[in-house]
Amino acid sequence: MSDATMRVRFAPSPTGPFHIGGARSALFNWLLARKTGGKLILRIEDTDLERSSRESEENIKNALKWLGIDWDEGIDAGGEYGPYRQTERLPIYAEYTERLLASGKAYRCYCTDQELDAERQKLMAEGQTPRYLGKCRQLTPADEAALVAEGRKPTVRFRVPENQDITFQDAVRGTVSFDSNGIGDYVIVKSDGIPVYNYAVVLDDALMKITHVVRAEEHLSNTPRQILLYQALGLPLPIFGHVSLILGKDRSKMSKRHGATSVEQYRALGYLPEALVNFLALLGWSPVGEQEIFSSAELIELFSLDHVAKNPAVFDIDKLNWINSQYLKRLDLGSLTDMALPHLREAGLVVGELNEERHEWVKQVVGAVREYISFAAQIPEHAAVFFQDEITMENDETAEILRDPDVPQVMEAFLHKLAVMENVNAEQVQAALKAVGKELKLGGKKVFMPVRVALTGKMHGPELIALIPLLGVERTTARIRRSLALLN
């Protein structure tokens, strides 16, 4: 694809946490812009005055930046088609509304919410599609004056042409058709003068010269309403591409029940932005071949709408965890330690400022557990055994292991070797454990399992050859003695 004039946009409504579905739409648009040398525009759709907030807008921008998704025009970036926040574009919309009213393509509707509700109930009771039946379609100026005198505030409705087939080629879904009958004249401007999404989006996309509208499938059913407005306004249509819904593993729509749904939550849990980008790219897009780990540069090179699937994308957290663990493996230990520290502090394992020596020790601990984790928030549960000298037996089985008659001599032999060890490192600890087994004629498991249980209270955990050097002679000895004493 080489289309340097491609202009795509991401147009979030700043009404709450930034959902991963939104991040995926942003990413797909970004990949298209970067691949073609086109432009990505960030527009804020804040016409829902009650639910929109600047705080949410900030969250979205921060999340995009964290993911490495930058934009060329729009909020903060500027550009020749601004302003880029819909509430700052009201005069622009008003001008077009006047034109639609003057040409009779739209009209003022004075029906109250109660009247509209009654109409809807009646249609539903008759088994018909609820829609506006056009009560205010033919009002005369005198009728309108009388309604205004009653104190009614009008909305503006678009006059939907009858019997019109609305067919378009969706870049993802192929040919899509809707029938204009049954849509009913819809509101484009509310009684407070604020345009609705379906209207503002058309004017913005057209005036910002958007060439490709790539967005979530939930907007597919809005598209016929938008196309009718493009036609009424004589504006050129963009190419639409509707990307599938994201479902949970149980195939119901992705929701909080399935785990974290916002980018912020994944960030807080200690996922890496590159991993999340990699994972989001694969939510609905499948490259040719088996490769699953892609750098941003590779995604930009390979991405195309042709390989975006029509069927729903399934959010597989295990896959995200696997991808993230691949990225974590490649991360340098210093950076991983920086990611781990807030979690270790939150778990109460690290308190106060760390001096250089202690920081280095924590870093080694992080290094010892990194192979067991998928994201940074899992570090404390694996690292706790390095910090906590109070040992509690995990279960009866662990207590049983320490009651074995061979255990006292195993421990004494090991502690002796430890006491005389020149340098407590992985090799020497390994050699000592081996030698104890040999001297006492016991299998390896009979040595390292009781040592592990005495040191941690658990049967599984980090390698002893990593744990013991990091605990050092004193703490290792004290833990073993305390565990043995607990049993007597």
Query: Residues in the site for ligand GLU, rule: CB under 6 A?
Result: 11-13, 45, 201, 215, 219
Token code pair at residue 205: 């996309």
User: Which lies closer to ligand GLU via its Cβ, residue 223 or residue 296?
Assistant: 223
Least distance in Å: CB of 11 to ligand GLU? 4
User: Which lies closer to ligand GLU via its Cβ, residue 14 or residue 450?
Assistant: 14
Q: Which of 153, 253, 256, 434 is catalytic?
A: 256
Helix (H, G, I), strand (E, B), or coil: what is residue 87? helix
Clarify whether 209 is annotated catalytic. Answer: no
At residue 382, φ and ψ (nearest 5 deg) are: -85, -30
Least distance in Å: CB of 260 to ligand GLU? 19
User: Which lies closer to ligand GLU via its Cβ, residue 45 or residue 170?
Assistant: 45
Pairwise CA distance, residues 169 & 158, whole Å: 24
User: Which lies closer to ligand GLU via its Cβ, residue 13 or residue 374?
Assistant: 13
Q: Which helix (H) or strand (E) holds 341?
A: helix 333-346
Q: Which helix (H) or strand (E) holds 386?
A: helix 379-387
**Residues near 370 by Cβ (< 8 Å), separated by ≥ 6?**
328, 329, 333, 336
Least distance in Å: CB of 199 to ligand GLU? 12
First vs last Cα of the chain: how many Å apart? Answer: 75
At residue 393, φ and ψ (nearest 5 deg) are: -70, 130
Q: Do 368 and 336 form a contact (C-beta atoms < 8 A)?
A: no
User: Which lies closer to ligand GLU via its Cβ, residue 39 or residue 215?
Assistant: 215
At residue 176, φ and ψ (nearest 5 deg) are: -125, 135
Least distance in Å: CB of 223 to ligand GLU? 9
- Name which of 458, 335, 437, 346 is nearest 393 in CA terms: 458
Least distance in Å: CB of 249 to ligand GLU? 24
Residues labelled catalytic: 256
